[in-house]
Structure 1
Amino acid sequence: MYTAKGRLDTDALLTQYSPLVRRLAHQMIAKLPANVELSDLIQVGMMGLNDALGRFDANQGVQFETFATQRIRGAMLDELRGADWMSRGNRRQQREIEAAVHKLEHRLGRVPIESEIAAEMGLSLTDYQDMLGKVRGTQLLYLEDMSGGNGDGDEEFLDRHVGDAEANPMFRLQDRRMREALVAAIEALPEREQYVMSMYYEHDMNLKEIAAVLGVTESRVCQLHSQSIARLRSKLREW
């Protein structure tokens, strides 16, 4: 697109490619905790798009959308790193919950209930549920955990889980055996947690909508979601 004077029409291109920014932001926000605002990612993504417009060189043989996607994702990742979006302590607590679930499943031979997980961690039920609300289970899978990655580095963590499509866990879930393992793990969840996962991931319902269906608070839905993630990750570690 060019202006009447033959110059690149930046405003028109920003408008044309703004849906790309929104799409990438929505893909990324689905893997991030509640304290990350979608509007912030979109704003930063638009800055990345503007940067792409200024740097793009058609002579390099790369399509603009491909080039812009890389710049937009890069801008979003830089923002997330700078904002320290998820503390190391929260990630440690996530792993502690998963470890407790894993131990109990092997010891009991069944899915443990919340009070049992809390007791295994040496916490009261209230404190355990508070922890679930804080960690806000963010990713369905950290596939690198299953191949030796420890996820301790903030930059490495972001690059692995919210980077380009080929590093995206959902991309790799196209593998048939992984899908089958995931389906089996979901079917093993307690009924209420299955409902939460179905409404959240299959029907794109938000926490408020799910809470209304289940007749509980939004914070309780958040707890159930975090606990579901911990259970699934525990199961899939064995895959």
Structure 2
Amino acid sequence: MYKADGKTDQKETLVHQYADLVKKMAYQIKAKLPASVEADDLIQAGMMGLLDAAGKYQDNQGAQFKTYATQRIHGAIMDELRNADWLPRNVRKQMRDVEKAIASLQQSLGRAPSESEVAKKLKLDIADYFQMLTDCSGHQLIYFEDVHKGEEEDHFLDRFIQNNKSDVINGLLSKDFKEALKQSIDALPEREKMLMGLYYEQELNLKEIGAVMSVTESRVSQMHSQAVARIRATLKEKLWTGPA
């Protein structure tokens, strides 16, 4: 049933017109996540975001609907990922162990440790260490649990958002945090730095990065997990020392 003002008709038209945008965004996000994440779940969440955008959009808002809808779709998909808690707790614990090993070695060696050095610190052979990195595919740079937690928990991002405690996103866009993140990326070994540039700046998927770097897709996944662990370890160190 259509309303007299044509609002329902417009909503349905917009949903049909931009349904493919939802699928495109869902698969782009899925490409950077573990295999356990179902694309259909992301698409369903994205469609809810599109429906919400179509229902609330007004032509006089001054923004094109595609721009407005893209923001709502992305937000709905990310909410789904957070609510689903898609990275298991045991995986996060493993990566915290990797981060601690890297941080300890960086302090004692005065440089970024090699993979074999990290493996030795964890009392693993190199094959088992690589398997751990593979299992931890999807490790994130930022978790909500990194912010505003109890004294016994890891809340290293509080330093960077101390003046934005009611607005975490703006806090993470602060000059201090961006500078600390830039320094952390610059401190990566060259190949990992190259990988992060291809992944986040040029938005290549793991297979495409593997072709550029002449390594397998699984090797790219391992290197990405390790690079994220290095960055987080460096950011945690800056909690105490501050940006250089």
| TM-score, with structure 1 as normaliser | 0.72
Cα displacement (A) at 1:50: 3.7
**Can you give the 5+ residue segments of structure 1 that lack an aligned partner in the other structure?**
153-165
Which structure has the higher relative contact order (CA within 8 Å, separation 6+)?
A: 1
- Aligned match of 1:201: 200
Question: Does structure 2 retain, via aligned residues, the 8 Å contact 1:211–1:217?
Answer: yes
SS in 1 for 2:237: coil
Question: Does structure 1 retain, via aligned residues, the 8 Å contact 2:53–2:68?
Answer: no
Over 3 Å counting, the alpha-carbon distance change for 1:209 and 1:23 in structure 2 is closer
Cα displacement (A) at 1:108: 1.6
- Aligned match of 1:8: 8
Q: Map Cα deviations across residues 15-62 of structure 1 (whole Å, 9 max, x no partner).
A: 3554774687478658743432445312332145446767x699xxxx
- Aligned match of 1:235: 234
Pairwise CA RMSD of aligned residues? 3.9
Cα displacement (A) at 1:86: 1.6
**Can you give the 5+ residue segments of structure 2 that lack an aligned partner in the other structure?**
156-166, 239-244
- Aligned match of 2:111: 110
What does residue range 1-239 of structure 1 map to in structure 2 within 5 Å?
6=6, 8-9=8-9, 10-16=11-17, 18=19, 21=22, 25=26, 32-50=33-51, 73=75, 77-78=79-80, 81-82=83-84, 85-142=86-143, 145=146, 148=149, 150=153, 167-168=168-169, 172-239=171-238
Opposite residue 89 of structure 1, the aligned amino acid is N
Hey, what's the Cα distance between the residues in 2 that align with 1:53 and 1:69?
12
Question: Does structure 2 retain, via aligned residues, the 8 Å contact 1:133–1:223?
Answer: yes
Q: How many residues align?
A: 218
Hey, what's the Cα distance between the residues in 2 that align with 1:97 and 1:75?
28
Over 3 Å counting, the alpha-carbon distance change for 1:172 and 1:137 in structure 2 is farther
Hey, what's the Cα distance between the residues in 2 that align with 1:225 and 1:79?
20
Question: Does structure 2 retain, via aligned residues, the 8 Å contact 1:24–1:73?
Answer: no
Question: Does structure 2 retain, via aligned residues, the 8 Å contact 1:53–1:68?
Answer: no
Over 3 Å counting, the alpha-carbon distance change for 1:215 and 1:7 in structure 2 is closer
Q: Map Cα deviations across residues 80-107 of structure 1 (whole Å, 9 max, x no partner).
A: 645x522111111111111111111112
Cα displacement (A) at 1:179: 1.5
Opposite residue 118 of structure 2, the aligned amino acid is I
Hey, what's the Cα distance between the residues in 1 that align with 2:137 and 2:121?
20
SS in 2 for 1:194: helix
Hey, what's the Cα distance between the residues in 1 that align with 2:118 and 2:223?
13
Moved over 6 A (4+): 2-5, 51-54, 63-72
Hey, what's the Cα distance between the residues in 1 that align with 2:180 and 2:31?
21
SS in 1 for 2:182: helix
Hey, what's the Cα distance between the residues in 2 that align with 1:74 and 1:151?
27
Hey, what's the Cα distance between the residues in 1 that align with 2:7 and 2:149?
51
Cα displacement (A) at 1:192: 0.7
| Identity among equivalent pairs (%) | 45
Over 3 Å counting, the alpha-carbon distance change for 1:106 and 1:77 in structure 2 is same
Opposite residue 181 of structure 2, the aligned amino acid is L
SS in 2 for 1:238: helix
Over 3 Å counting, the alpha-carbon distance change for 1:185 and 1:87 in structure 2 is same
| TM-score, with structure 2 as normaliser | 0.71
Cα displacement (A) at 1:193: 0.5
Over 3 Å counting, the alpha-carbon distance change for 1:25 and 1:175 in structure 2 is farther
Hey, what's the Cα distance between the residues in 1 that align with 2:229 and 2:128?
16
